[in-house]
Chains A and B, each alone.
Chain A
Amino acid sequence: KAGVTQTPRYLIKTRGQQVTLSCSPISGHRSVSWYQQTPGQGLQFLFEYFSETQRNKGNFPGRFSGRQFSNSRSEMNVSTLELGDSALYLCASSLGPSSGQETQYFGPGTRLLVL
């Protein structure tokens, strides 16, 4: 069974631009969560989608948004990029809603560099 895939793996953007990252969950998984990882803040939860609905959201500004499609694939979008958005963005999938009852499986991440 294929794991979680994320595209692109690496991305370089400039301030003010927007970016869209994609995540394909493990087949059969309906929940997708997104995390931002930086050296200073560590791993921070962005949001979770389950059955095309945003189920949970972390403390990030409205520039960060996401969506989930009927095939459970998810995209996250960051508008008006800032230097501080440079990070590794990780996607995780689970069978059901991402409570502790479900184990999350992570993708390899998208490394975003904002210049």
Chain B
Amino acid sequence: AQKVTQAQTEISVVEKEDVTLDCVYETRDTTYYLFWYKQPPSGELVFLIRRNSFDEQNEISGRYSWNFQKSTSSFNFTITASQVVDSAVYFCALSEAGRDDKIIFGKGTRLHILP
């Protein structure tokens, strides 16, 4: 069965600090997809990244970077030089590319960036 664990329920950091959000997943499939979404107070989930299981290359997008390690079943998300606008709930999600390809979300990590 598929499962996504975001062990950090809530994190607070001071602006300009770097912060890493952890995501550990479980799946029996060899082909799967991992996602990160951001949910600001407005409620709408904003897509950040999608990664397939065959692409372990780390990705950087501005201040955001993602570290995908199949050996530890982790897909961690780092924000460099955090800003107050980064305050939100961040969700990691997993989808197996098989018959049951529903997307399963982790419980989310609430990130507070303090000015």
Contact = CB atoms under 8 A, between A and B. Distances in A.
Interface of A: 33, 42-43, 45, 48, 56, 58, 88, 90, 92, 97-101, 103-109, 111
Contacts of B103: 33, 45, 98, 100, 104
Contacts of A97: 101
Contacts of B95: 99-100
Contacts, number: 58
Rank and list the top 7 A-B pairs by shortest CB-CB distance, nearest first: A100-B33, A100-B95, A106-B45, A43-B105, A99-B101, A108-B44, A109-B43
Interface in B44-60: 44-47, 50, 52
Contacts of B52: 100
The B interface is mostly helix, strand or loop, or mixed, namely strand
Instruction: Give the size category of B's interface with A.
Output: 20 to 34
Contacts of B35: 100, 103
B50 A103 contact: yes
B23 to A, nearest CB: 14
A56 to B, nearest CB: 6
Contacts of A108: 42-44
Contacts of B13: none
A70 to B, nearest CB: 24
B32 A43 contact: no
Contacts of B105: 42-43
